[in-house]
Every structure is written in structure tokens, then in C-alpha cells.
């Protein structure tokens, strides 16, 4: 008779755990960057440099987890459709941490551009909503490892599905906040230096990138939920 431990060994549950840890590390990078964005607005460049170094260290930890996960996936007995979803998630997670480290934080520190005061309120609203998106995604990720547990029950499946739907429902409000912010920038563009308009557009684009990947992560979780 199989025990819970032996069943987990047969289906090689370990790569899923590694994936969960990797996403948690990535989420920490994104939340750190977005939730403490105020240091770029004030600005406090000393704290910004410290935060950038923290993100770099977490990126190194993510790299170790990524290769460990790849190696275990090659030896695992997970279904091909599960492996494909996990591999796709790994590739996306890698891109997110790279964006947080190289694009967002480094660009902010390198340019040391001040945010124009007329856009601050709408920008902060958009930013806060994005931070919340990251938190909602984390709640879904926290339940990732139970998808392949032998004790996985319908109630747990419904809980995971509920978290994913909550995240998906945030897409429209996020888009509306983004549109309002872009409209405001367009309205005041003549009063700003062209470089500042480009800078603001790039920052918004990067934040949208994080939000979109949160949505894509939820879609992959839904696929895993279907086959799990």
C-alpha cells in the first residue's frame, strides 16, 4: 500500500515546490520594487541603491532555484502537459526578475528623473493597484503545491480557483487606471520636457508588464489546476 510520501516520490512533487519558491522570490522582488517606489518619487537614491542590491541578491537565488527546477523536471514523472506549463512559467518568471533588476530599478537609478507633480496622484493609484495585483497572485501561488498533493480535494480546488478569478477580475480596473494616467500625461505633455514624457511612458509600460505577467501566471495555474 502506498503512503503519501511514496506517492509524492512517484510523481516527483519536488519541481512544483521549487517553482513555488522561485515565484515567491520573484514576487518579493516585484513587491519590493513597487511598494517602495516612493523612494524614487521623493527621491532617496541611497535607499534606492540598497534596494537594487537586494533585488540583485534575490535574482541570484532565483537563478539557483531555476536550474534546480530544470534538473528535477528532466528526471520527473510529471505529465508532459504539466511539464510544459511549468517550463513556460519558469521562462516567464526569469523574465520578470530580469526586468525588475535590469530595466526598472537600474533605469530609475541611472536617470534619476523626478516625477512631475501633476501625475503623482494618478500614478500612485495605478502603482498601489499593481502592488495589490502582486499580492493577489501570491495568494494563488501559496496554494500551488497542494495541486499535486494526494490529499487534494474539491474544496481546495475551489479555493485555488477563487483566488485565480479574483486576480483575473482585477484586469479591467487596472486597465482603466492605466488609461487615465496615460490620458493625463498626454494632456500635460506640452508642459513637460520630451525626455520626461518618454521616461513616464517607459515606467508605466514596465509596471503594466508586471501586471500582465501576473495575469499570465494565473492562467498557467488554471491549466495546472485542470490537469492536476
In tens digits, the chain (228 residues) has pLDDT values of 433 333 344 444 555 666 677 677 777 777 777 777 777 777 788 888 888 888 788 777 777 777 776 676 655 545 555 566 666 666 666 666 666 666 666 777 777 777 888 888 888 888 888 877 777 777 777 766 666 555 555 666 677 777 777 777 888 888 898 899 999 999 999 998 888 888 888 888 888 877 777 677 766 666 666 655
Q: For the chain, how many structural domains are there in total? A: 1
Cβ partners under 8 Å of residue 97, min gap 6: 25, 26, 29, 55, 58, 59, 62
Domain CATH for 106? 1.20.58.220
Q: What's the pLDDT score for residue 13?
A: 54
pTM of the model: 0.69
Range of the domain at 164: 4-227
Amino acid at each position: 500500500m502506498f503512503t503519501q510520501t511514496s506517492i509524492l516520490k512517484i510523481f516527483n512533487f519536488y519541481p512544483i515546490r521549487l517553482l513555488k519558491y522561485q515565484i515567491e522570490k520573484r514576487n518579493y522582488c516585484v513587491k519590493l520594487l513597487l511598494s517602495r517606489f516612493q523612494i524614487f518619487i521623493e527621491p532617496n537614491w541611497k535607499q534606492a541603491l540598497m534596494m537594487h542590491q537586494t533585488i540583485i541578491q534575490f535574482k541570484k537565488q532565483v537563478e539557483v532555484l531555476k536550474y534546480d527546477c530544470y534538473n528535477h523536471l528532466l528526471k520527473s514523472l510529471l505529465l508532459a502537459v504539466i511539464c510544459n506549463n511549468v517550463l513556460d512559467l519558469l521562462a516567464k518568471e526569469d523574465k520578470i526578475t530580469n526586468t525588475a533588476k535590469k530595466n526598472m530599478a537600474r533605469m530609475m537609478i541611472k536617470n534619476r528623473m523626478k516625477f512631475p507633480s501633476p501625475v503623482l496622484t494618478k500614478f500612485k493609484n495605478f502603482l498601489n493597484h499593481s502592488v495589490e495585483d502582486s499580492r493577489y497572485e501570491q495568494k494563488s501561488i501559496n496554494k500551488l503545491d497542494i495541486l499535486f498533493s494526494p490529499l487534494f480535494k474539491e474544496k481546495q480546488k475551489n479555493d485555488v480557483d477563487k483566488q485565480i478569478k479574483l486576480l483575473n477580475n482585477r484586469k479591467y480596473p487596472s486597465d482603466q487606471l492605466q488609461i487615465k494616467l496615460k490620458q493625463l500625461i498626454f494632456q500635460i505633455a506640452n508642459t513637460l520636457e520630451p525626455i520626461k514624457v518618454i521616461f513616464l511612458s517607459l515606467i508605466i509600460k514596465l509596471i503594466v508588464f508586471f501586471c500582465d505577467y501576473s495575469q499570465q501566471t494565473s492562467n498557467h495555474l488554471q491549466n495546472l489546476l485542470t490537469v492536476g
